Amino acid sequence: MDFSIVLDNLPLLFKGLGLTLQLLIISLVLGFILSIPLAIMAASKLKWARIPAKIFIYVFRGTPLLIQIFIIYYGFSQFEWLRESPLWIIFKEAYWCAIIAFALNTAAYTAEIFRGAFLQTPKGEIEAAVAYGMSRWDQYRHIIFPSAFRRSIPMYGNEVIFMLHATVLAGVITLVDLFGAAKILNSRYYAPFESFISVGLFYLTITFTIVFIFKLLEGHFLKHLKR
Partner 1 sequence: MKKRLTISSLLLSTALFFSASAFAETLRIGVEGAYPPFSQVDKDGKLSGFDIDMANALCKEMGVECKLIKQDWDGIIPALIAKKYDAIIASMSITEERKEKVDFTNHYYKSPARFIHKKGADHEISQAGLKGKSVGVQRGTVSDKFITGTFGEGVDIKRYGTQEEAYLDLNAGRLDFVFADAFVLLEFIGSDNGKDYEFIGDSYTDPKYFGDGIGIAVRKGDTELAKKFNMALENMRKSSYDKVREKYFDFDVFGE
Which residue type is seen at 146?
P
Residue 174 C-beta: closest distance to partner 1, Å: 4
- From the list 36, 172, 197, 217, which residue makes contact with partner 1 (rule: CB under 8 A)? 172
User: Is 22 or 186 the residue whose CB approaches partner 1 more closely?
Assistant: 186
Count of C-beta atoms within a 10 Å radius of residue 59? 12
Q: CA dist 36 to 4, 50, 65, Å?
A: 47, 13, 21
Query: Which of the residues 40 through 99 are near partner 1 (CB under 8 A)?
Result: 74, 77-78, 83, 88, 92, 94
Residue 173 C-beta: closest distance to partner 1, Å: 8
Residue 17, C-beta contacts closer than 8 angstroms, at least 6 positions apart: 178, 202
Residue 45, C-beta contacts closer than 8 angstroms, at least 6 positions apart: none
- From the list 192, 200, 220, 222, which residue makes contact with partner 1 (rule: CB under 8 A)? 192
The torsion of the CA quartet 160, 166, 114, 209, rounded to 10 degrees, works out to 0
User: Is 141 or 188 the residue whose CB approaches partner 1 more closely?
Assistant: 188
Residue 110 C-beta: closest distance to partner 1, Å: 30
Q: Are 186 and 196 in contact (CB under 8 A)?
A: yes
Residue 82 C-beta: closest distance to partner 1, Å: 9
| Footprint on this chain of partner 1 (rule: CB under 8 A) | 74, 77-78, 83, 88, 92, 94, 172, 174, 176, 183-184, 186-190, 192
